[in-house]
Each structure stands twice: as C-alpha cells, then as structure tokens.
Amino acid sequence: MTTGDEDEAPDPDRSWQWKESPLGGSTVSLAVGERFSSDVLLAYSARRSSTALPDPALQEALRTRLRVVESNSQDITRLFKDLSARLVSVHAEKDSFVITFKTVEEIWKFSTYLALGYVSRCLENFLCAPSVWLDSAVLQEVQISVTVDEEHLATMYLGLLLQEGSFFAKALFNSNSQDEEDLPYRQNDLVMVRDIGQDTMWEGILLATGQHGLVPVHAMQPLPYPFYQWFLRKYPGNAGGPPGTLHLFDHPIGTGTCVAEVDNSPTGADELTFRRGDLIEIVGFLVSGLDWFIGRLFSSGRVGFVQKTHAKPESFKPLDRQLVFLSEEERASLSQFNPCSDQCYAALLGKLLQSDISTVYRLDRLDKTDFAYIQNQPKPECRSRGNPRESLVSTKSESAPCHSTPRQSVCTSPSLSEKERENEALSFSFEDTFREMDEFEEDPRVFLEENSWEGEEAEALDPMMTLLNQDCFSEHLQGLYDLPFSFLKTSFSGTSEDELLQHLEAMREGAKRGRMHWAHRRVCFLLGRVCARKQKFSQARVYFEEALAVAVPGFADPPLLVALYASLTAVYLKQRMTSKLSLTLEKANALLLCLPQHSFCSVDECEVLKLVLRKAIVTNDRHLEARACYLMMDLFLTLGKMEEALPFVERLQFLTISLSAEAGLELLAPVDLNWMLSRLYHKKYLPYLSLASMSLDSHPSRSLQDAFQKIDLFVKNSGRLSGQWREGDPALHTLPAQLVVYLQQALTIASQGDDLKIQRDLCLSLASLYQQHGALDQAVDCAKRAVVAGSRVNEEEAFQASVLLAWLLLLTEEPGRATAMLQPLLLSLHETDSPTQRGVVHNLLAMCLRKAGQPQEAGRHFLGALRIAQESGNRRNQALALANFGCLALSVGAPVLAERFLSRSLVLFSELLESPTDAEHVQVYLWLGRSYGDRDRVQDVRLCYELGLLIAITAKNLHSQLVVAKALSSFYTKMQLHGQCIIYCEHCVSLSRDMRDKRLEGEFLETLSELYLSLNTDKSSRKSLDYTKQSLRISIDLGKRREESETWLQVGRIYYVMQEDELAEMYFQAAVKTALRVSDFCFAMSIYEEAGDVYFTGQRNRSAALPFYRDGALPFARSFGDAHSEFRLLSKLTELLMNSQQSGEALQYASLAVRISTTTGDRLKERVAFHRLATVYFSLQQFEMAENYYLKALSLSPPVLQSASEARYFVKTYCRLGDLTLHRLKDAVDAMGYFQLALAAALEDRGDTRALYIVYMKLAEIHGRHLPDKELCQGYISQAQALRKELSGDASSET
C-alpha cells in the first residue's frame, strides 16, 4: 500500500514500475483469463501535518460527512467521474471506497491524479466541514492520505492492455531465433504486440521497420507507464533511429563549458570548426540524450553544431539535481499562461460583497424563533435560457468571450477560415504580435510584378528585400517564422496562393542575381512553407534544402535556422527519406531542445518532437522526456489545443515530482504547473480537479492579479458544484467556505502593497463570508481590519466597514460595543448630506438600545430612521423601520400597538414584491401573527402564518418556508389539530431534504413520529415507525451516537406498542450496544433503565425489564457511585420481583435499598425503603419483621403532618399494622392501639370519609369481640353508621 499525498514525497514511478526480470507466463495468463478482481479498494486516513500521526477526531468527522453523502451517491459518483474512476460502493465505516476501471486510459488518468496528489485534495474538498476551512490553524494541521493496492492496480493494467487487443512493449534483449515466423529485434526496440491465445508467444510489429512476426512473451516488457501506451497509440509512427552514442557527460542535462577532444572539420552546414584542446561554451543546454549540442568557440566567438563525442566536460554544471530543464524566460512565460483572454477583476470583489449594509435597514430579531438576522442581498439577475454550463462560466469582458465548457474551446481570430484554423491555428496573442510593427502596418502593401526586377540596383533598394537581407535576427523578422504566417498575411494580403508563389519566386531570382544571401535564404524558406502548406512536399523540400545550402552563418539568425531544420525534417519524415533524415533529425533535435525560448513556425515540428519523445521512452531518459513534453505542451498551447496539451502538462508535472522523489530532494520543479492544470481542468469542465490542482499551487511569487484569478476560478468551479457544496438554502447564494483560503492569500499579497481600497474590499469580503458561515468572531476581526484600511483612504470607504462591524457586534450579542461605534458615526454624518446613511445608523442604534433594555431611546432612533426613509421616499426602508417598531412594541408587551406598525409595514412590503424582501415580508407576518396570538385571535394568527408561507413559496425561499411551516406546526399542536400539524411537519421534512440539512431533517422526522404515535391507531403506529427508522438512519449517518441510541430505543417502544415484543427486544439491545460505544457510563445506564421502563410501565411481559435493570443499569450505577439511581433501580427490581411472586429474591434488593437509602440523605427515600421492606416481609409471612419495619418507616415521618396525603399514609399504614397484629399476631391490645392512631390520622384528614368509616368499624369489632366493651363498641358503631349514611347520600346524589 502506498500513499497518494503525504509529507514525504511519494514515488510515483513505483505505481507502474515493472520488475527488471521478464514477466512470467503465469502473470500474463492470469490477466488474459481475467482471474483477477476488477475492484480496487481506495482507503483514506486523516493525519496531523505537524506530527504525521492519525487524527481520530478528524477521521470521525470525515466518516460522518461520508455517511451523509453516501445516501445520495450521485455526488460521490460525480467526484470519481472527474477522477476517471467508476464508483462501485462506499464503505463509510471502513473509511474506504471501492472503485473499478474499464479501460487503460481510466487507469492512466487515475494513477496520474493519485501521484499528483489530486485524489487526496479532492477528498479533502469534498469531505472536510466548513469549520475546517474557516479555521486556518486547524486547516494547516489537516492532511488526508489516500492508499490503494498498486500491485493489484498494475495487474489490472496488464489485464486491460491484453483485453484491448494490442499494446506496446520493449524488448529486453536481442533476438537469436532463426525461424522465419519470428520477428528479429534488438534490445530496447519498441514492439506493438497482440495476444494470439498462445501462452508463450505474441504477435509483434517492430515500430522501427514495420516488420511482422512472433515474439516470445518473456522477451517483452510492457511499457511501464500508461502515458507511453497512450502516446504511442495516439501518435503512431516510426520509433527507430540510430542507437545512442557513448559520451563523457554523466548527467542528463547541464550547461557550462567543454574541451574539444579531436580536430573537427565540418562535414555539414553550420557545424563548428575547432582544434583539439579548444574551449567550447555550451549555448543553451547540453542534453546527454542527444548526439549534438550548440557550442560557441571561445577563441573566435563562432557558434555552430558540435558532436557530443568530440568534446569532454571542462566546467560542466549539471542541472538535473535542481530539476532545471527550462530557462528562466521559459519559466516566466509558462507561469503567465492563461487559456482564456485576460479578464478584468475590478468588479470581482463587488460581486462577492453584494452588501447593502450602508444603504438598507436591517430587520431586528425578537427571539430565537425568528429568522436569523437577514442578510440583505440583491437577487441574481434573470438570465436567458441557454447552455447552463456557458451561463455559469461566461464573464463580461471587452475581449471576445472564451467560454469554459467540457469541450475544446480555442480562442482564435475570426478572420481565419475553417481550413486555415485546421492547418495552422493562430496563437492567443495575434494582435500583440504586431503591436510593435507599426511600420509594416503603415507602409503600403508590396505587390511585385513579374517583370519588376530590371537590375541589381532596383533589387537592392527594394524595402522588402532590404528587410529580408538583414544579416542577423531582429524582432521585425519574427513574423517570418511564426505559426500564423503573419509576415505573408500582412505583406501580401488579398493575394491568392498561386500569385504569392509567383511573387516569392521572383524575389528568389532577384536575391540570387543580386547576391543577397540572407534574402535568398529567407525567401526560399517562405517558398518552402507555402508549398508545405499546400502539401507539395517535394517542392518544399527543394526550397528548404536550397535555403540551407546558402552560404551564410546560420546561427546569426537562430529562429530561421531552427525553422529550416524543423521544417525540412518534417518533410523528410512525411516522404520517408530515411537516408537524409538521420543527420538532419539530430540537428533539428539539438536546435529544438537545446535552445531555450523556441518559437514554433509550423505544426509539423510536432513530428520531430514525437520522435524525440519516442527516443526518450526507448532510452528511459526522463530529462529528455521532460524537455520534449514541455515543447509538445508549448506547441499545443500556442495552437490553442488545450485538450491535446493537457496530457503533456500532467506528464511534465508528474516527472518533476518523480524526479525529485528519485533524487531524494524537496520539490524543486522548474515551474509549478498546478496553476496551469487548474485552468486547463476548468476548460475541460472538471471542477473537482480544477479546485484540487489550484489548492496545490505553491508558486512563491504569485501576484495580486493571480490571486484574483484564483478567486474567480474558484467561484466558477464551485458554482458548477453548487449542488454538492452549497450549504443551506440555495436562494441565499452562500459561497463555499474554501473561498476563505484564497481571499486570505489575496489579502496577504495586497497587504504588502499600498492599495488600501483593495485591502478594505478583501477584508469586507472575508467578513461577509465568515458571517454567512456563522464564524462571527473571525468576521469581526476582518471587519476591524477593513475599518482601519478604509479610514486611511477616506471617510466614505471607512463608513461601510464601520457599519458592518457594528452589525457584526450586534450579532455577537455585544450591543454596548456596537453602540459605542455607532454614536460617533451618527455625529459625523450630521455634517454631511447623507440622509440614508444616517437612517441606517439610527436603525442599528435603535436595535442595540432595545437589546440593552432602553426601549424609549430605541423608539426615538427608530422614529429618526423612519422619518429619513419617508423623506427620501425609500419604501423598503420605511417598511423595515415600521416592522422594527412593531418588534419593539412586542418586546415591551404592547400587541395592539405592534399590530398597527406591522400592518402599515405589510402594506408597504406588498408594493415591493419585485424586490429581494421576501424573507423580511414573511418575518413581519410572523410578528403580526404573534401580536394576534397574545390576544387569543386564533383565526388571525392562522391567516398571518399561512400568508407568510404563501409568500415564501412564491419566492422559492426554502429557509423562509421552513421557518413558517415550523411555526404553523407548533400553532396547530397547541390547537390539538394533529392532522394539520402533520401536514406542515411533513413539509418541513421535504424542505430540509431540499436544503440538504440532515440534522434538521432528523429533528422533524422525530416530531412526525411522535405526532403519528399520539394518534394511537395501528396505521398511525406504522407511519410513526417508518419516520423513526428514517430518523435512525440520519443519526447513524451523522455519527451522533447518543441520538442514534435514543432512536433505537424509540423504535423498540413503538414495536412494544404494536405488540411485537421480539422486535422490540432486538431494538432495545441495539440501543444498549450503541450506548456502550459512547463511552459515557451515565448515558449507558439511562438507556438500560429506559429500555426496562418500557416493560416496567407496560401491561404485559413486565419481567422482561429485569435483565435491563439488574444486569445493565444497576452495575453502572454502582460503578460510579450514583446512590440515587441505585436506590431507584433497586426499588423497581423489588416491585418487579414481588409482582412475579419471587419474594425471597425481592427481599435481597429491598434490604439493599434500605442500606443505600441511608446514604442518600433523603428521609423520604429511607421511609419508602423501609415501607417496601416491611411489605416484602409481610408477603413472606414474617409478621414480626414486617411490624418492625412498618414502625421504622413511620418513625421517619415528620412529627407534624404537612399535608392530607401524609395523613392518608398514616391511616393506611396504621390500619395495616392493626390488621397484622389482630389477625396474624393475635394481639388485640396492640391492634387497638394501632387503630386508635389510625383514627387520629383519619380525623386530621376529613376528606377521606371511607377510611374513617373503616377505622370505626375495626375499633367496634375489637371492642365487640376481642376486648368486650359494649359502650365503646356501640359508640364506634354509631359513628360508623352516621358515616355510612353520609357515604350513601353522596352515592345517591351522584346517581
């Protein structure tokens, strides 16, 4: 298992590095037979960056997030689709995904993203909660590592190669077979092989010669990188060439000087003449994978080609350790790459801010049941129906729009025909190319007539010939060699190609006659280019060869020399002139790869670069491959072919990482290509990858403009993912919390400059974003910085920041500090002509004063705000001021006054239906309903709430609908209209799902379950069960163990009500197991007890409560010394055992209860314990012990009766003692005493006539039978008969 993105740089090479030993037949047959699993396990883990240790808290948070999104797999599927993988399943509890691949290209792309760190960054963006992004300290510690079984992935790679029919391999050694059917090959030859069903042989085609034959399986090594397979299949062609020569340069790339080893007499044009021992300076780079380099002789200053075998290093500076295969100029131009036209970012912060805090009043909040403080923002403008992807990314710019869609989009000039774009696409900066060539634009066009060359003097004086005959390169000549043929188009505009050839041929003849050698070379080059474009390659070859044969120092004009060699080599390749190709190709390679800042003149140069890249593949030369990939990338970007350039950009970034890991260095890439890749992924409509690569951009010298481009790119891509990332109500347009990172980067750069307004705007944007996500403390800090920056610009810039800061302080419940800030603002505004701003300050001051308990002062400021709004004619502010007056009246208990203000406010709001006021409008209706509710005007309350809901539905404001629906549900609950309550509660559930708020959805599902259960029907119980199970699923997803355990318990209760005791027991056990995972003994004890209470308080199977009390709750209560809980559980156990006729066991628990009760310090508990123990002894017929403990219980009673209930307790207990001694102990005297005490207690409680009657009868019985006394007996009987008549009278009257 390897890691995809960790502190220690991963070794991406190992992903596809095959062993040096030949592949065994068993491995191949395994792939052919598809006996390998097609599923790949992708696991992730959270670590702390500082320690590289696992972070359990973050891991659980990621797991919880994954559970939430697991129920809607569309989001995860979209993520892995961007990563070029197919999602099979999600295993949140195991912190893993199962993915698969169907093609080699999918594995190639995924392995590239894995090595570049994009997979882990995508998961980080997808799974991390907003709170992580809002806290920079936490974010710095977050690190997500991704692991896959790469050996299994490599097996899948080989299997898919075989399934696709053919693939490319490299020969491991020379062939020695003499069989005619066998293919002859040499070591390192590239062969395209195909499985023909034999275990030991493949069919092969040698790329160098095109020969067919059979090759042994063990002699072929599949190319280790999927990129190689893609490249050779995408760009087929000859992969031969002379074998590399031995040399003395041990490093792949370098610069410096070398010493000639031999005397050299040039055999070809532009080769350098030198003597043995001469010192030669390397011009540009020396690439060890090439046979030639460009050198300058120190003694003469001449520049020319030098064979690498003719020199040895002298002061050679290797550059491979620094991973430098680009020049400084190339690095600078590459870092400024932008696939779309430059955009104006001046309005970007304004779009992010979109705050009217300084012009629109804010609505107050009465209590927590109201809306959260409403963030007033203008609604987005309605856009015409069209391509949704184009509408997301199109921007307003003075230049032509460059839409970012999943398809290729090339920014080219509209003046080119479709055919011209196909053959020679223009670069992005076509207009810039000629910005400094005004003399050409002002001069008249030159049309050369056939007989215009009448003499050498005329030829020499011709201005165009003079220009072409310059003996060195100048910027004015750049148009000769560029891709769009700008020189010919400018000089011969409107001329057909045949006429152009005639003009150029005439110029060629004139240059030859006039011995204008440079003009001759350049005109021949132009003729060759025109012929090549017309696909007349033989004519083009003649012109190119003639141009090279002209005796001029070629390196005086390097762009011309590069263009000539590259163009001639491309023609040789097309005509397959291998005899002439070898030397020309090597020199073209040296010019293209060794000289920095190459300017392409033809798309045919791509053919030369393909051969170089094939050579690098064969020789496994990574630095040569990197240089070739850079030039291929540069060419495609220049042509505007973004999709074709993307694989080479990815490969170049991959090589920089792999080479640095191989050398054991930190990442010292010549340029960080993540920024470029982010833009290319954006063009290809891969938002996850665009955001991942942008977050990995580590360029140290990004400008403020780059920072704004990042912000803009992030906003566009997060908009594409709005369905996955938007938190809460989509109508609120909440931006993702990740934007904080890029705003902070921009602020850091801006703080180093002097543009205070930009700093203020960035601080305000950050404050607004923090506020949207509820991070009010960070928002306050940013607002303070905005105030400081704005005050250094002017008062107007500081005002908005100051008002925002006061508003945030009000949100953080600091009205005192907000008041202290607003009062000076109000004083300063009296001297200015800013009535609306004064009204805003008055309104906020009034809200602060209301919170501070100063309603009169608050009313005065609300009045000031209202008058200003009336004077300015601002109806919205008038409505808000009146609504705030109504809120103030409600807060002081004046509902009638509140009704008047709120009604006037609603009239004004009804006239503003086209404005973004729906949330405010709804809130006013809720306040009006509350004012009616205070006066029991039930129908008016209902009407206000339902009107508010109607407005919220019309505005499609989900949050407003949720608030009102919740209020209506509560309203109907109080009215005990459960049917209507259920309707609105179900609407709340639907809204919560639309808002993707699992927490709210779970709460409303629980409420729905309780409502249905209260209906007490079989059907309603089934509905209740269904909603409770849905709530249980959410609790599990959110990782809330306590809520999950309680919900398991609730499901068990419902099953018990439905008389399905076996299912109830199963869910109770699940609740207990979940509670035990919380690691809170008190909570676990409560769950055990509540599960037992279901049976204890039920009507059947009460004994099932015993194990929950005895084996679960009671041991926990004892473990943490909770005497009160232990006493309660012992009491319940005693009662259960008594009811089940297990008095002996009940005695043990009753005795323990007595012992525990003495430790609680509660006399009532002691009395109850002794009374229960006496009852147990009574049931055991141990009457003396029962009498003893009854008396002990009575002794713990207060000496003076406190209430009638205590008197009744005395009556019942003494009667029990009297019966016990009279009938069981046969002691009439003691029995008479007990009944006398019972009589005394009964006389204290005159409310229980029946008990008094029984006591009289018992005393009469004792004196009549056991202790004869006729007088007393008759007296008690008389009293009893009187009470009997009273009881009979009461009974008859009731009848």
DSSP of 537-578: HHHHHHHHHHHHHS-S-GGGSHHHHHHHHHHHHHHHHHHT-H
pLDDT of 432 over the 60 cut: no
**Closest of 416, 400, 406 to residue 342, by C-alpha:** 400
> What local confidence, expressed as pLDDT, does residue 1141 receive?
87
Measured between alpha carbons, how far is 1107 from 1099 in angstroms, rounded to an integer?
18
Which two structure tokens, joined as six digits, stand for 1196? 């713990």
Measured between alpha carbons, how far is 963 from 382 in angstroms, rounded to an integer?
26
pLDDT of 58 over the 60 cut: yes
pLDDT band (50, 70, 90) for residue 1053? very high
pLDDT of 1009 over the 80 cut: yes
Q: What is the tens place of the pLDDT at every residue in 735-762?
A: 888 999 999 989 999 998 888 888 998 9
pLDDT of 242 over the 70 cut: no
For CA atoms 474, 480, 481, 483, the dihedral sign is positive
Which two structure tokens, joined as six digits, stand for 614? 């094939």
> What local confidence, expressed as pLDDT, does residue 304 receive?
93
Which two structure tokens, joined as six digits, stand for 982? 């259920």
> What local confidence, expressed as pLDDT, does residue 448 receive?
41
% of the chain beyond a pLDDT of 70 = 84
Measured between alpha carbons, how far is 992 from 971 in angstroms, rounded to an integer?
20
Q: What is the tens place of the pLDDT at every residue in 307-358?
A: 988 998 888 887 766 666 777 777 777 766 666 555 556 677 777 776 788 8
Provide the b/e sequence for 313-338 (b: ≥16 CB within 10 Å): beebebbbeebbbbbeebbeebbebe
Measured between alpha carbons, how far is 646 from 406 in angstroms, rounded to an integer?
13
Phi-psi label, residue 477: left if phi above 0, alpha if psi -120 to 50, beta otherwise: alpha
Residue with more model confidence, 659 or 952:
952
Which two structure tokens, joined as six digits, stand for 472? 């060195």
- Number of C-beta neighbours around residue 43 at 10 A: 15
Which two structure tokens, joined as six digits, stand for 511? 């240059």
pLDDT of 976 over the 90 cut: no
Q: What Å distances lie between residue 92 and 142, 261, 983, CA to CA?
A: 19, 67, 34
Burial class (CB in 10 A: 0-12, 13-18, 19+), 807: buried
Which two structure tokens, joined as six digits, stand for 960? 């407003």
The DSSP-derived string for 310-362 is GEEEEEEEE-GGGT--S-HHHHHHHHT--SS-----TTHHHHHH---TTTSPP
pLDDT of 100 over the 80 cut: yes
- Say which range, 423-432, 494-503, 1199-1208, has the weakest mean pLDDT: 423-432
Measured between alpha carbons, how far is 76 from 81 in angstroms, rounded to an integer?
8
> What local confidence, expressed as pLDDT, does residue 554 receive?
87
CB 1006 within 8 A of CB 1028: yes
**Closest of 218, 169, 226 to residue 193, by C-alpha:** 169
Residue with more model confidence, 882 or 658:
882
> What local confidence, expressed as pLDDT, does residue 1063 receive?
93
Measured between alpha carbons, how far is 1005 from 1001 in angstroms, rounded to an integer?
6
> What local confidence, expressed as pLDDT, does residue 779 receive?
92
Strand-strand pairing, 166-171 and 39-48: unpaired
Residue with more model confidence, 847 or 31:
847
Once rounded to an integer, what is the mean pLDDT over residues 357-361? 88
- CA 560 from chain centre, in angstroms, equals 50
Measured between alpha carbons, how far is 1133 from 1115 in angstroms, rounded to an integer?
13
- Say which range, 148-157, 163-172, 829-838, 1126-1135, has the weakest mean pLDDT: 829-838
What's the predicted TM-score (pTM) here?
0.79
3-state secondary structure 425-460: CCCCCHHHHCCCCHHHHHCCCCCCCCCCCCCHHHHH
pLDDT of 386 over the 70 cut: no
> What local confidence, expressed as pLDDT, does residue 1285 receive?
83
The DSSP-derived string for 41-94 is EEEEEEEETTT--B-HHHHHHHHHHHHHHHTSHHHHHHHHHHTT-EEEEEEGGG
> What local confidence, expressed as pLDDT, does residue 329 receive?
74
Measured between alpha carbons, how far is 356 from 707 in angstroms, rounded to an integer?
25
Measured between alpha carbons, how far is 605 from 638 in angstroms, rounded to an integer?
13
954-957 long-range Cβ contacts below 8 angstroms, 24+ apart: 954/918, 955/731, 955/918, 956/731, 957/729, 957/731, 957/918, 957/919, 957/922
Which two structure tokens, joined as six digits, stand for 66? 């994954």
Q: What is the tens place of the pLDDT at every residue in 924-967?
A: 999 999 999 888 899 999 999 999 999 999 888 888 899 999 99
CB 493 within 8 A of CB 445: yes
Which two structure tokens, joined as six digits, stand for 774? 């509820």
Q: What's the length of the chain?
A: 1295
Residue with more model confidence, 794 or 369:
794
CB 491 within 8 A of CB 506: no
> What local confidence, expressed as pLDDT, does residue 388 receive?
35
**Closest of 299, 4, 326 to residue 144, by C-alpha:** 4
What's the CA angle centered on 629, arms 628 and 631, to 5 degrees? Answer: 65
Measured between alpha carbons, how far is 719 from 710 in angstroms, rounded to an integer?
14
Q: What Å distances lie between residue 206 and 190, 226, 239, 622, 905, CA to CA?
A: 6, 19, 9, 23, 86
Identify the DSSP state of 493: T
- CA 421 from chain centre, in angstroms, equals 39
Measured between alpha carbons, how far is 1200 from 1211 in angstroms, rounded to an integer?
14
